[in-house]
Structure 1
Amino acid sequence: MSHRSAAHLWQIETLGRGAPGPLEFTDPELGARQGLTEVRIHRIPLPESDIASRAGLRVTRVPRTLADLLRAGPRDDALVAVESALAFRRVGGQRRAPVTTLAAVYLALEAPRLGATRARDWARLVDPRAGSPAETMARLRMLDAGLRPEPQAEVHTPDGRRRYLDFLFREAGLAVEIEGYAYHGSRDAHRRDIARFNQVLQCPEVRRLLRFSAEDVFHRPAWMIEQIRAALPAPTGAERQ
């Protein structure tokens, strides 16, 4: 297995909830039959060194899996997977440690294959600090809109405690927080969440806070960008040029 199917076996998050889509395989010789339903076969070189065993199946190793996704695209799908693999994540109800490094992904992209140049350009957008697919997508939507907030920005409460924000437009004092699908989990978690945001609003670096749900990020990105732009100071004449 390869591509999204391999990512699923490695507990790497991809866009879309539930099943990872059609089963994907890499067959350098194209010996497998084409036209099979719910199966996608890629004909690209696959040395034995790029293959591992997972759940009793032969699958592409994590760096090769991510390199394949970056070369194949789309960009957003690939970057969600790469950033998931580089971070601690809760996948399938279990806490999962990082499964590779960015250096290993870059090394896997050195092979001169179709889409490699574009893939390396996309890899430069990777931020290993992203905490969820929704955070990755929010950052990419802002990037595409010409907005450059500081990700995972450190701020301080009046008594000196550190807090980290998903995004901060530091000069404007605008914080942007993204909530995942299963954000609170319990009443205690909800109470901690409320206390945290009250503390964030006391930080001198933060003058305004916007919160968006995963549904906003995935299904209403244009509205999200409009809200962020409206909360930012209007650009000066020099900045518009």
Structure 2
Amino acid sequence: MKKRKPELPEVFVGRDAVRDGALTASDLRGPRVRRLFRGVYCPSVVRDSHELRCRAAALTGAGALVLTGRSAAVVRGVEVASTSDPVEVIALPGHRVNRRPGLNVRRVRIASTDHQPWGTIAIASPERMVFDVLAGRPLIRAVADADRILRAGSTTQQRMASYLADRHDHGVVRAREALALTDPRAESPPESELRVRMHFEGLHPEPQLRIYADGKFVARVDFAFEKERLVVEYDGAWHWRGTGIDRMRCARPAGRSTSSPRR
């Protein structure tokens, strides 16, 4: 009776699969598998995702890496990185980590209290994760990503402010600036980006305002200037054109507008 080959896991080290008889060396170059990183593969039928690539990255540096930033956020359930985005990791002191395409390796100081075990590597604490998002991205994108993470409840603005208060790391000034612009009420990255752009134009609307007319609920709007009785609704086409605030779609609500308690 022919011996059955071992089943392939969703991510695996190629040489281990060959050693265990699950594949031959030539299979690693064929259609059965897809290479995620040098030496790390998945079966070709497995759907690619950033989370899958995070698990593959863990096989490249067992005991030497801390998953952080947007990659850690994805693993924690907040989809702020795509399949094509590099996996963000910190190399722990005393470990040699080979750089690979698709793996963004940084060598910075990280306290033992800032990470916890995750499989064969570690994952950053929520506060360290958000710090790396705030400090490592262009300002507007950093705020948009942080809004989504804060909205998901991984951490809070208050905990982040305390975490950043006495730090002197590279990028902490940028992180504090970005944190001051965050608002977890934002319901999409484009809304966050628009809000920040308005902020830099000197405009400070109330996000997610409930509009009432004669005591009856009318709508919840993306942004509102209550004093001026002006609302601003995000238009998806504006985001992709990226041409600026002059393309905002505005309307004046009828009747008296009042806000509900913030969520």
TM-score interval for Structure 1 and Structure 2 normalised by the shorter chain = 0.5 to 0.7
Structure 1 27/50 Cα, relative in aligned 2: closer, same or farther at 3 Å?
same
Structure 1 81/228 Cα, relative in aligned 2: closer, same or farther at 3 Å?
closer
Q: Does 1:69 align with 2:91?
A: no
Q: Which runs of 5+ in 2 are unaligned?
A: 1-66, 253-263
Match of 1:216 in 2: 238
Structure 1 151/163 Cα, relative in aligned 2: closer, same or farther at 3 Å?
same
Q: Does 1:157 align with 2:179?
A: no
Match of 1:208 in 2: none
RMSD: 2.6
Query: Shift in Å at residue 70 of structure 1?
Result: 1.3
- Output the CA distance in 1 between the equivalents of 2:140 and 2:84: 15
Aligned pairs, how many? 185
Secondary structure of the structure 1 residue equivalent to 2:170? coil
Match of 2:158 in 1: 103
Deviation per CA, 1:152-195: give whole Å up to 9, x if none: 223212243374321012333321223xxxxxxxxxxxxxxxxx
Identify the match of residue 37 of structure 1 among 101, 105, 117.
Answer: 101
TM-score by length of 1: 0.67
Q: Which has the higher contact order (CA 8 A, sep 6+)?
A: 1
| Structure number with bigger Rg | 2
Structure 1 54/157 Cα, relative in aligned 2: closer, same or farther at 3 Å?
farther
Moved more, 162-171 or 114-123: 162-171
Q: Which amino acid aligns with 1:8?
A: V
- Output the CA distance in 2 between the equivalents of 1:112 and 1:231: 45
Secondary structure of the structure 2 residue equivalent to 1:63? helix
Query: Shift in Å at residue 20 of structure 1?
Result: 5.9
Structure 1 7/30 Cα, relative in aligned 2: closer, same or farther at 3 Å?
farther
Deviation per CA, 1:50-88: give whole Å up to 9, x if none: 112456752101111001121222112221222112214
Structure 1 10/56 Cα, relative in aligned 2: closer, same or farther at 3 Å?
farther
Moved more, 26-35 or 140-149: 26-35
Structure 1 52/35 Cα, relative in aligned 2: closer, same or farther at 3 Å?
closer
Where do 1:1-241 residues align within 5 Å? Answer: 1-14=67-80, 18-19=82-83, 21-29=85-93, 31-54=95-118, 57-88=121-152, 98-110=153-165, 111-161=167-217, 163-178=219-234, 212-213=235-236, 215-217=237-239, 219-222=240-243, 225-228=245-248
Secondary structure of the structure 1 residue equivalent to 2:151? coil
